[in-house]
Structures are given as C-alpha cells and as structure tokens.
C-alpha cells in the first residue's frame, strides 16, 4: 500500500523568505504522479504543482518548485519569496499508475499548516 508522510505538521516563515515543505512516500510502483495541493483557510483546495515520476527534471511553477528524489522517495516543495496569500494547509499527494483501472487512487499526506508572517 502507498503511504505519504509529511513530517512537519506546522511551519511559519516571514514574508519574502523561502520555505521548504517535506514529503516522503513509499511505493513499490515505478510509474506514478506526485502533487502538492494547497487548501487556504475557508477556501477550496487547488493544485500547486505536479510531477511525473518518469521525468527527471524537477517541476516549477513560478515561485513554487519541487525537489524530486526518486531513489530516496522524497518530494519536497520550495516556496520562494513567500507571500501572505501562501498561508494555507499544504498536502502532498501520490497517484499510482496501474495497467488496469480499479485500484488507482490519490493518497494524501496529513498536511503541513504553513503560516506566512507579515
């Protein structure tokens, strides 16, 4: 069974600083996707960034980038020049790719509550 571990329940940083959220996962599969989702207070969850396991290049989306270490099964999220609007719960998620449908699912970590301090 796949598991996703986020070891930092809460983090806080000053505005404009850089912060890294950690995520590790456990799987015996070779083909999978990894995601970071953001859930702002009282607002809908949105995708921050995604990474396909077969791609060696780390994904980036503006101020958001990942450090994907496939051998170590690590998928950390770096937020540069943090802004007040980055305050949210961040979930790391894993999606396995199987040859047959039926058992594919998104597995989420427990989340990291990030607070950006003005």
Residues at the site binding another protein, with contacts judged by CB under 8 A: 33, 37, 44-47, 50, 91, 95, 97, 101-111
Picking from 36, 53, 51, 52, the residue whose alpha carbon sits closest to that of residue 88 is: 36
Give 50 or 70: the residue with its C-beta nearer to another protein. Answer: 50
CB of 33 to another protein, least distance (A): 5
On the CB side of 7, CA atoms within 13 Å amount to 8
A 10 A CB-CB count for 107 gives 17
Q: How far apart are CA 51 and CA 60, in angstroms?
A: 9
CB of 35 to another protein, least distance (A): 8
CB of 19 to another protein, least distance (A): 21
Give 5 or 13: the residue with its C-beta nearer to another protein. Answer: 5
């Amino acid at each position: 069974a796949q598991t996703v571990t986020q070891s930092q329940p809460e983090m806080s940083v000053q505005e404009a600083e850089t912060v890294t959220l950690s995520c590790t996962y456990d799987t015996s599969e070779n083909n999978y996707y990894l995601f970071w989702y953001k859930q702002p207070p009282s607002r809908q969850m949105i995708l921050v960034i995604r990474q396909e396991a077969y791609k060696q290049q780390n994904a980036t989306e503006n101020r958001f980038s990942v450090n994907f270490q496939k051998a170590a099964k690590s998928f950390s999220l770096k937020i540069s020049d943090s802004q007040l609007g980055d305050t949210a719960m961040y979930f790391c998620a894993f999606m396995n790719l199987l040859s047959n449908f039926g058992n594919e699912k998104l597995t989420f970590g427990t989340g990291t509550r990030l607070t950006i301090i003005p």
